[in-house]
Structure 1
Amino acid sequence: MNTGNDDYSHLKEEIISSERVFDGKVIKVDHSTVQLPDGGSASREIVYHRGAVSLVAVAGDEMYFVRQYRVATDDFLLEIPAGKIEVGEAPDETAEKELKEEIGGVAESLRKIHGFYVSPGFSNEYVHLYEADNMTIDKQALDDDEFLDIVKIRLSELPAQLDNGAFQDAKTVIGVQYVIAKYNL
């Protein structure tokens, strides 16, 4: 129902109680009880994450991706360069670092083009999507626990690759759609 204004307080849930059930290196998980707008209550499992960055990296007529194995999906995914934001790090710092680490990219400038929640039904993970402007490629600087291949795809092939299901994670689909629109592909 559209109320005609920006007051959505009638939809807000209030956390009544919360118990930390997992406190890991990347995520924290709380089991919470919330009071619903109608006065009832419900259980919520909430995953807390520091957030991440992802990068649209185009050089010449090619877009850069990485292929890596993801244990959670038990699959080799083709993704745009990305990484989690470390404690004390600003998203633009993470973007610059991840571009260099994953594909050896060095950009004249990085520009934030979007931001989005990955799965807001249970997680607060927010991804900052950047575009690397005037990028050159140098040497990768992977972390010790990172194993990935660099994959370059011609811009003209992106629409067909998207249609064929080559990209299966949200950040990559969003990044590819951005490039398709930007370059009128």
Structure 2
Amino acid sequence: MSTGNNDFSHLKEEIISSERVFDGKVIKVDHSKVGLPDGGSADREIVYHKGAVALVAVEGEEMFFVRQYRVATDDFLLEIPAGKIEVGEAPDETAVKELKEEIGGVSEKLRKIYGFYVSPGFSNEYVHLYEAENMVIDEQSLDEDEFLDIVKIKLSDLTTRLEDGAFQDAKTVIAVQYVIAKFNL
């Protein structure tokens, strides 16, 4: 049913009770009981995350990526530079820091392109996607627990690489599609 008036309150679920079942460094997990719009109830498992930034980094005719092993997927993923937002840190600050850490990039201006939820069915993780404008490459400054390779891909190869499945995570697929559209590739 569409109301046509932007009043979606008939869809809202209300948290009745909630229990924290995990309280980690990166995420927190609650098991909650919610009241449904029809008066019934349901269980929800909710992952709380501080959010992250991701960066479109293009220099000349190449786009920068990082390849790193991800334990959760047991795979070596090709991703755009990214990182989680630390407590007390604004997304803009995190973006500047992560660009430098992961690829050694320094940008005259970081422009926010989009923001999106990663998996809103169970998590509040929100990614702020930035574009590094007028970027120059300096030295990487990786965190002590960070191991990755810098990978540069020609802009002219992005469509083929996307279609071939080279990019497996949502933030990277979104970023590559943005670059393909921006440069009319």
Per the normalisation by structure 1, the TM-score is: 1.00
* 2:87 matched residue in structure 1: 87
* 2:67 matched residue in structure 1: 67
Q: Deviations over 1:31-59 (max 9, x none)?
A: 00000000000000000000000000000
How far apart are the structure 2 equivalents of 1:110 and 1:2? 38
Q: Deviations over 1:57-106 (max 9, x none)?
A: 00000000000000000000000000000000000000000000000000
How far apart are the structure 2 equivalents of 1:145 and 1:34? 38
Counterparts in 2 of 1:1-185, with a 5 A limit?
A: 1-185=1-185
Q: Tell me the secondary structure at the aligned position of residue 29 of structure 2.
A: strand
Task: Tell me the matched-pair count.
Answer: 185
Letter in 2 for 1:168: Q
How far apart are the structure 2 equivalents of 1:4 and 1:21? 39
Report the CA distance between 1:2 and its aligned residue: 1.6
Report the CA distance between 1:179 and its aligned residue: 0.1
Any gaps of 5 or more consecutive residues in structure 2? none
Segments ≥4 residues shifted beyond 2 Å: none
Letter in 1 for 2:148: L
How far apart are the structure 2 equivalents of 1:4 and 1:172? 34
Per the normalisation by structure 2, the TM-score is: 1.00
How far apart are the structure 1 equivalents of 2:89 and 2:57? 21
Q: Tell me the secondary structure at the aligned position of residue 161 of structure 1.
A: helix
